[in-house]
Amino acid sequence: MTFLKDRTGAAIIAGSAVIVLGLASCSSTGGRPDSSGSGMGAGTADTPRATVAMITHEVPGDSFWDLIRKGAETAAAKDNIELRYSADPEAPNQANLVQSAIDSDVDGIAVTLAKPEAMAPAVESALSAGIPVVAFNSGFDQYKADDIQQYFGQDEMLAGVAAGERLDKDGAKKVLCVIQEQGQVALESRCAGVTKGFRGQTEILNVNSKDMPSVESTITAKLQQDPSVDHVVALGAPIALTAAQSVTNAGSDAKVVTFDTNAALVDAIKSGAVQWAVDQQPFLQGYLAVDSLWLYLNNGNTIGGGTPTLTGPAFIDQSNIDSVAEYAENGTR
């Protein structure tokens, strides 16, 4: 079988966005029975070996990206794909990594678009070279402008609105939305959505996630300065855990809620240190990004019918945390 390395793909039927609610342990894509003993595999595809580059804006130390990578590795093992993962939080460096992947003649590229304007030329170069590109995690509002056919992630504005509406139901009056990287479109959209969906007062606080002691002290100082803040909205699990410590430091009654999860956050929800989390299923994003490229290369398939494939949002709280905890311990949620 030969690979399809063009930008057209097969004919598709337009439809609404697909909300992916879960990931089965086996795939309908076929393959030999799993003999790895890992419990997650679905065999290895009898298709030619392909090389896929995954380039993200991962921030060192943020375990969220471990889930992305594990999902990608799981799909790559099933699909007989060599996965080349690389990351840089700085957009120009991330664009350079995309160019390096193009120069090494990979068969497909999966990329995040946290700062899409900086990434657009590199994406255009990949498509011009006949390399299919999918976007995931960041770039919901921009991927189509870059002529990318497929996107896997959540609508960050929609997720923010849902969080804001839940804050209303929780009785919040004033919330502090903490952005850990200014200019990152997904984070900005989340807080904008919270502001739109919440009927109370929302204040934005910018911090630098590369300096977590500074994050802790900045949130602590804000809570001490303004005791009317009754909820802190974090945009990532490490920030949420730090915010919980800041609440203690400040002697504040504020409650912490967050976007995204990791194993430590599961424990924080169980203990009540964090009230709830908006889950976008990062393992699934990584998995679908790689698996979609395998489908496209081998069968001309695209997923989503021209619309984004949504992996969230969903809420995780004490009512359903036990159903997630097992998978979190395994490093897949």
pTM to 2 decimal places: 0.83
Output Rg (C-alpha) for the chain, integer angstroms. Answer: 20
Instruction: Assess whether pLDDT exceeds 60 at residue 19.
Output: no
Instruction: Assess whether pLDDT exceeds 50 at residue 130.
Output: yes
Instruction: Assess whether pLDDT exceeds 60 at residue 270.
Output: yes
Q: What is the pLDDT of residues 150-176, one digit of tens each?
A: 999 999 999 999 999 999 999 999 999
Q: What is the pLDDT of residues 178-187, one digit of tens each?
A: 999 988 889 9
CA dihedral 98, 102, 105, 106 (to 10 degrees): 30
Contact predicate 194/217, CB 8 Å: no
Q: How confident is the model at residue 326 (pLDDT cuts 50, 70, 90)?
A: confident
Rounded to whole angstroms, the Cα distance separating 31 from 45 reads 4
Q: What's phi and psi for 181, nearest 5 deg?
A: -150, 105
Rounded to whole angstroms, the Cα distance separating 245 from 259 reads 17
Instruction: Assess whether pLDDT exceeds 70 at residue 64.
Output: yes
In this prediction, residue 5 carries a pLDDT of: 45
HEC sequence for 118-175:
HHHHHHHHHHHCCCCEEEECCCCCCHHHHCCCEEEECCHHHHHHHHHHHHHHCCCCEE
Nearest-5° Cα angle at 137, 136 to 143: 50
Q: What is the pLDDT of residues 67-119, one digit of tens each?
A: 999 999 999 999 999 999 999 999 999 999 999 999 999 999 999 999 999 99
- CB contact set of 234 (below 8 Å; sequence gap of 6+): 178, 240, 242, 243, 256, 257, 258, 259
In this prediction, residue 331 carries a pLDDT of: 84
Q: Sketch out the chain's domains with CATH numbers.
A: 18-154+281-312 (3.40.50.2300), 156-279 (3.40.50.2300)
CA 118 to chain centre: 19
For the chain, the residue count is 333
Tokens for 289, please give them.
């990004």
In this prediction, residue 329 carries a pLDDT of: 83
Q: How confident is the model at residue 60 (pLDDT cuts 50, 70, 90)?
A: confident
**Per DSSP, what are the bridge partners of residue 134?**
110, 150
Rounded to whole angstroms, the Cα distance separating 61 from 107 reads 29
Rounded to whole angstroms, the Cα distance separating 173 from 200 reads 5
Rounded to whole angstroms, the Cα distance separating 57 from 106 reads 19
Rounded to whole angstroms, the Cα distance separating 218 from 67 reads 28
Q: How confident is the model at residue 42 (pLDDT cuts 50, 70, 90)?
A: low
Q: How confident is the model at residue 12 (pLDDT cuts 50, 70, 90)?
A: very low
Q: How confident is the model at residue 41 (pLDDT cuts 50, 70, 90)?
A: low
Query: 34-65 burial, b if ≥16 CB within 10 A, otherwise e?
Result: beeeeebbbbbbebeebbbbbbbbbbeebbbb
